Amino acid sequence: MLGGYEQAQRRVIAFGLEDEAEAELPFKALVFNYPSDRELSHRDFLGSLMALGIKRELLGDILVGSGRTAVFVMNAAVPLVKEMTKVGSCGVRITEDFSDADIPEQQYDEIRSTVASLRLDAVISSALKLSREKTAELIKSKGVLHNRVMTFSPSDRVEQGDVFSIRGFGKMELSEIGGQSKKDRIFITVRKFK
């Protein structure tokens, strides 16, 4: 699976690539350059791109920076995107000079707590500060992307390093499982991404 960089959230499957570095990838990283005193958001870029009639499926990650934002675009939509001269009311110039410096450092809040068990509903309940019952209902109704696989089962077991995403509630990672308390509760650390 390819997304343009190692931590990419949105990825495509490409078959028959022997050497990814030399292969013709099905997408390009386009860099939007603009004055660094202008604060543009992910929403600004996504809205401007979708206003062109580009479906979300043709877009990968949008990495917003200061004066530079990288957008991964499927090849079929590249010519249309390259014609853009504005995002909102801000003038932009598009280049193909993506580099590792365009990958922002992931920001997160660390949540330390204890759980009764390493079930999906217990860990997410702890991270979102919701009751376990409400969390179980949320999982059953909305589903959770657990390591990129959709699940509706609150009882799924989780392990250190597992990543969860719930639409409307964000993305989190079970970054550490510690020992047990005197009451047999398990110490955990969850990173909730900003």
pLDDT score of 107: 80
Q: Do domains 27-102 and 108-193 have the same CATH topology?
A: no
Mean pLDDT within 71-100: 95
pLDDT score of 16: 65
pTM of the prediction?
A: 0.62
Taking a C-beta distance cutoff of 8 angstroms, is the pair 50, 56 a contact?
yes
In terms of residues, how long is the chain? 194
Q: Scanning the structure block, which residue is given the tokens 């660390």? A: 110
C-alpha distances in Å from residue 163, one per residue of 12, 50, 119, 124, 144: 19, 28, 13, 11, 10
Domain ranges across the chain:
27-102, 108-193
Taking a C-beta distance cutoff of 8 angstroms, is the pair 43, 57 a contact?
no
Mean pLDDT within 51-69: 92
Overall fold of domain 27-102: Alpha-Beta Plaits (3.30.70)
pLDDT score of 2: 73
pLDDT interval class at 5 (50, 70, 90): confident
pLDDT score of 15: 67
pLDDT tens digits for 6-41? 777 677 766 665 655 555 778 899 999 999 999 999
Overall fold of domain 108-193: 3.10.290
pLDDT score of 58: 93
Task: Say which residue, 70 or 22, is predicted with more confidence.
Answer: 70
pLDDT score of 105: 77
Structure-token pair, residue 157: 């077991």
pLDDT tens digits for 135-184? 999 999 999 999 989 999 999 999 999 999 998 898 899 999 999 999 99
pLDDT score of 104: 78
Give the rounded percent of residues in the chain with a pLDDT score beyond 90: 73
Q: Scanning the structure block, which residue is given the tokens 């350059």? A: 33
